[in-house]
Amino acid sequence: MGLKRKHLIGLEDATTEEIETYLNTAESFKSVFDRKIKKVPALRGRTIVNLFFENSTRTRTSFELAAKRLSADVINFSVSTSSVAKGETLIDTAKTIEALESDMIVVRHSCSGVPLLLTKTLKSGIVNAGDGMHEHPTQGLLDLFTIREKKKKIKGLKIVMVGDIAHSRVARSNIYGMTKMGADLTLVAPPTLIPQDIERLGVKVDHDLRKAIKGADVVYMLRIQIERQKRNLFPSLREFSTLYGVDEEKLKLANIDALVMHPGPMNRGVEISSEVADSEQSVICEQVTNGIAVRMAVLYLLAGGETNEIATLSRQGN
């Protein structure tokens, strides 16, 4: 199984078959993780550039490690907003990067639409590592991977996603991914953090966490940014935490084996209590590990790789 695309901009236009291909491929790569030598020669000789216009140690590190485990050459290029202020445009920067003869560019930007814009200007394959409030497709895929790994299925699971949906690219990618894979998804947040007409994406919206969390198989929390309070999107962190923070008492209302998930970094004591974050049900650290396997799968497949060749490749790696 392979893919017919060379860019990954979002999960909005992904088919369920494509998503399954990503997840199955990631599974094959994850099986290599237990070995002493974790590298496979899949992308030997290819150059992958991590072009980050926004700080993100976690995502950048995860992509870097994924590329290295595929034996690609990796360059990290962080662009501070100051060099943009000097008059160099996004396009200038991207063309400079491509002049380094990159095969793929992993891009993170605070503005929605930048990865799509780059596909129109550059020849390299573009992987969206998070753009503004738009999408963060590899996060969506690694969350699906984690759920499938733990629950052995996604279809029919009751998932509640709690927090700042409006400003979250993680939420958008997960909404597309989870609904395409057949999950029953409810978004829980105050109305100020629910964007207009989001129900049209096939989700339910609730403002009462205690009600919505009942019988949930997965409880997914999003990071709340403190700055949102200044725009009057919620009155105080205390009120937010009281109404929408997941603590042990609220978690008890979910299924006894419900997974607790968070894309990180967490605000302990705000959207998630420490007890919940560190509980047996929490798979937050596994999300991070799975992120490497999923990103390996994404880079590999977009570069033209086939899932059934991984077994051969991993033998070469050893």
**Residues binding another protein (CB under 8 A):** 12, 89-91, 109, 111-114, 116-117, 131-135, 169, 172, 195-198, 200-201
CB of 192 to another protein, least distance (A): 13
Query: CB-wise, 101 or 197, nearer to another protein?
Result: 197
141-179 in b/e form (b: 16+ CB < 10 A) is bbbbbbbbbbbeebeebbbbbbbbbbbbbbbbbbbbbbb
Q: Minimum distance between the CB of residue 112 and another protein, rounded to whole angstroms?
A: 4
Q: Long-range contacts: 231-239, Cβ < 8 Å, 24+? A: 232/192, 233/164, 233/166, 233/190, 233/192, 233/193, 234/190, 234/192, 234/193, 237/270
Minimum CB distance to another protein smaller for 125 or for 130: 130
Alpha-carbon gap, residue 128 to 126, rounded angstroms: 6
Q: Residue 192: which region, alpha, beta or left (left: phi > 0; alpha: psi -120 to 50)?
A: alpha
Strands of 218-221's sheet in order across: 204-206, 184-188, 158-162, 218-221, 259-261
Q: Closer CB to another protein, residue 134 or residue 262?
A: 134
Q: How far is the CB of 70 from another protein (least distance, A)?
A: 29
Which is nearer to another protein, 82 or 89 (by Cβ)? 89
d(CA 318, CA 309): 15
CB of 168 to another protein, least distance (A): 9
Nearer to another protein, 61 or 93 (CB): 93
Question: Least separation, in Å, of the C-beta of 196 and another protein?
Answer: 5
Q: How far is the CB of 125 from another protein (least distance, A)?
A: 19
Q: Measured between alpha carbons, how far is 211 from 218 in angstroms, rounded to an integer?
A: 14
Closer by beta carbon to another protein, 106 or else 133: 133
